[in-house]
Structure 1
Amino acid sequence: MPPAPAAAESRPGPSDRERGDACPGALRLHPADDGALARVRLPGGLLTDRQALVLAGLAERWGDGALELTSRGNVQLRGLPADSGAELGDALRAAGLLPSETHERVRNIVASPLSGLDGRGYADVRAWVRELDQRLCASPAAAGLAGLFLFALDDGRGDVAALDADVTLIATPGGGALLRLGRAVTARRVAAGDEASAALAAAEEFIAAAGAKAWFVRDAPELVDPGAEPLPPPTGTAPEPGRFDGGLVVGTRFGRLSAAQLRQLAAAAPELRITPWRSVVLPGATGPAPAGLRTAPGSPWERATACTGAPGCAKSLADVRTDAARALDLAVEPGAPVHWSGCERRCGHPAGAWVDVLATGAGYRVTAHRMSGPTSQDLTTEQMAEAVAEARRTT
């Protein structure tokens, strides 16, 4: 089973429903220490080369010159002027990246990133992505979804089905799908051709039942009927960096792509697919990848994530990305998921068994969250790298 990816987005709890959804979007910017942040939704992680060039230009014109990939296959622009929302919206709208102003924050759809490329799976779920996106934007009720409410469209290989989305479609042999709600262990059977409409109907059903009780299905599973179909175990894996018969997968460092790197990716393929694991699939790509991106499996950077840290976040007690990069560059092998956090909020940490590296102001506390229970040790920044490598080997 692939690890649950660490989200760049922190998730509100069920009790926050009555206070409103503060999740940023392309039009509603989020203030940060390094400037405003905009989150652009990319259903299925799908980008054309032309759209990628537009985003690269926006990052250079108004942002910090780079884009961040998120665990929902979306992108973020950082370091924006606080008053740039209107001009940013105009540019995104012209590029086809803002089809609905009222629904732009609810278009969170992840999909099997290799679907239709490598001969695996039971359906090319890109068609489901496009139909679901259209139906979402046309549904008045869907505008009430949380900005982090997630749809996952799995082509049957079991990769994004492991992400515990609010609504998951899993393609089945011969057509149709199983529809899973939250973390239910059973599912509903969906006929071929009804996949997107069934996913939207399930989300609308949850909205009507939840009221002010919960933002997400997993927080209130009793509000929905999970169905009675048994679910297959999600045995798929995240695509590894490297070449495959249908193209190239490139990995990033903490999900950051410079504008120059994004332009090179756009030149390598007419379509880009941003994955929930902060990598990029380039269908049909044959040329070399940009410098600084991973194109081979087995790196210590795999399953390694970090929050923004200082100086971008005022709450952070350390420049965690610099410290984490130094530790990962010293490591020699991959291991369990690891996440560096600048403060106790631990924004974006993964689920399941993972290694928690928390800045303390005097160094780092390294905690291995094993199934048998957590174990912790307080260390200096210089000692942290070795301790993290050991914890990743044994977690």
Structure 2
Amino acid sequence: MTRSNPDSCPGVLRLHQAADGPLARIRLPGGRLEPGQLQVLAQAAAELGDGNIELTSRGNVQLRQMHDAAALSERLAGAGLLPSRTHERVRNIVASPLSGRIGGLSDVHGLVPVLDAGLQAAERLAELPGRVLFTLDDGRGDISGLGGDIGVHATGADEFALVLAGRDTGIRISPADAVQVMLAAAHGFLDLGSGQWRLQEVDDGARRVIDLLGLSPGPDRLEFGAAQDIPIGWLDQDNGLVSLGAAVRLGALPARTAEFIAAIEHPLFITPWRSLVITDLDEWPAEQVVRVLAPMGLIFDANSPWLQVSACAGRPGCAKSNTDVRADATAAVESGRAQSPPAPNPPAGDAEIGDPDQPLDSTTIDLADSGAAMDPARTIEIRSAEDVIVAGRQHWSGCERRCGRPRGPVTDIVATENGYRID
């Protein structure tokens, strides 16, 4: 598959002109944010944008309606959130959020800064499309199922499986070699590519990259599933401290709430499920954090229906959207029409549709190319949003592109010119 258009993923230095104004995407390798960095993001959202920090499905963040791009880049550079002006869009690295603190076979967070530094040090890797995704899974299986391009998956404390195009290659490498092998694979992708945005789009891409690496696959293969494994609530760390996992309604974190989180002065991680994890707390402070932040809208309840619902930008952010899907999804949750029990027969499929990181109002991947054909027997036409009643994992989309759709079994609620269609 060869793209006719160059990759147009936004960043800090190249904003996306959304319908509601310029949008900036800030890469957070491994999802990690220091308290001071979150404070800078909160102030930028409040003073330069619409007052919210959007969490994306790659553990990045976005700021909408940015009216002063120069001021934004200056603030982010001062906070260490823009370490490279040439490589800023290619620093897409997701890692198991709880790694090194709760469970897992190997702590992968130590690999994140090394991989990030290696990407920035290689001048040629600035040519990578902004959609290429690096994945670091500590063996629990929460990250490898996200369909990354290049990654590793811990099979033990001292061994990783090399993952290419979202699949186990059968190659096993040591932690000491992991970053260099991933960087070599990124160079291999550039060697093979002819306009493709993802390794999956290169014909027989994984095998050809393996040939370039000169590595020999073994017989064993791991299977990865797309798990909706959101770490929520009170999480006891292996060292006796506490992490708190909190969901954010439709991934929009108000700047004022972010300032309160920053004031906790503990490291936090933005997860690929549009949630966050506040780490390394003693028990009493953790209790106080929940008491303060829960009334402000953070969700610490693992049974909340908000964990089942996602949505694209919709109106007014996206010119292609047929309606304000976020308002309709919110009304469905608040009225009880978005129910927590899993749907009886959700349509299967984990194709990448639209922009996986954030809904944008520019076409990214045609529906016909995605392989996500609808099952007519399961399609339901509904005139009014108030009549939409869906149980289980669901994604609300303003148009057929279904931007931001999570991987795995999901019921699609798609806005049309005449109402909604449930697939």
Note whether the superposition's TM-score is higher than 0.5.
yes
Give the 5 Å matches for 1:1-395. Answer: 14-16=1-3, 18-81=4-67, 84-118=68-102, 120-212=103-195, 214-220=196-202, 222-225=204-207, 226=210, 228-229=217-218, 230-234=220-224, 238-246=229-237, 247-285=243-281, 286=286, 287-289=288-290, 290=293, 291-329=296-334, 330=336, 331-335=338-342, 336-367=392-423
Q: How far apart are 1:37 and its partner, in Å?
A: 0.1
How far has the Cα of 1:322 moved from its partner? 0.6
Between 1:233-242 and 1:349-358, the stretch displaced more is 233-242
Q: Distance in 1 between matches of 2:308 and 2:151?
A: 23
> What is the total number of aligned residue pairs between the two structures?
349
1:49 and 1:90 map into 2 onto residues whose CA distance is: 18
- Give the drift of 1:240: 3.0
Unaligned runs of 5+ in 2: 211-215, 238-242, 343-391
Distance in 2 of aligned mates of 1:100 and 1:40: 12
> What CA distance in whole angstroms lies between the structure 2 residues aligned with 1:231 and 1:165?
17
TM-score (norm 1): 0.84
Could you tell me how far apart the structure 1 residues matched to 2:100 and 2:175 are? 17
Name the SS of the counterpart of 2:320 in structure 1: coil
Unaligned runs of 5+ in 1: 1-13, 368-395
Contact kept, 8 Å, 1:299 with 1:334, in 2: the verdict is no
Indicate the larger mover: 86-95 or 52-61. 86-95
Q: 1:99 is paired with a residue of what secondary structure?
A: coil
Q: Aligned partners of 1:185, 1:221: CA distance in 2, in Å?
A: 17
- Quick one: distance in 2 between partners of 1:231 and 1:126? 24
Structure 2-normalised TM-score? Answer: 0.79
RMSD, matched Cα: 1.7
Q: In 1, are the aligned partners of 2:146 and 2:166 still within 8 Å (CA)? A: no
Paired with 2:94 and 2:167, the residues of 1 have a C-alpha distance of 19
Report the Cα distance in structure 2 between the residues aligned to 1:61 and 1:344, rounded to whole angstroms.
Answer: 34
Separation in structure 1 between the aligned mates of residue 166 and residue 101 of structure 2, nearest angstrom: 28
CA separation of 1:185/1:192 partners in 2, compared to 1, >3 Å: closer, same or farther? closer
The structure-2 alpha-carbon separation of the partners of 1:332 and 1:345, relative to structure 1 and needing over 3 Å to count, comes to closer
SS in structure 2 at match of 1:28:
coil
Matched-pair contact (CA < 8 Å) for 1:337–1:350: no
Specify the SS of the correspondent of 2:2: helix
Assess if the C-alpha contact under 8 Å between 1:324 and 1:340 holds in 2.
yes
Whole-angstrom distance in 1 between the partners of 2:224 and 2:274: 20
**C-alpha distance in 2 between matches for 1:69 and 1:231:** 32
Distance 1:191 1:284, change over 3 A: closer
Q: Give, as a single letter, the amino acid of the residue that structure 2 aligns with 1:239.
A: I
* Secondary structure of 2:50 counterpart: coil
Give aligned-pair identity as a percent. Answer: 44
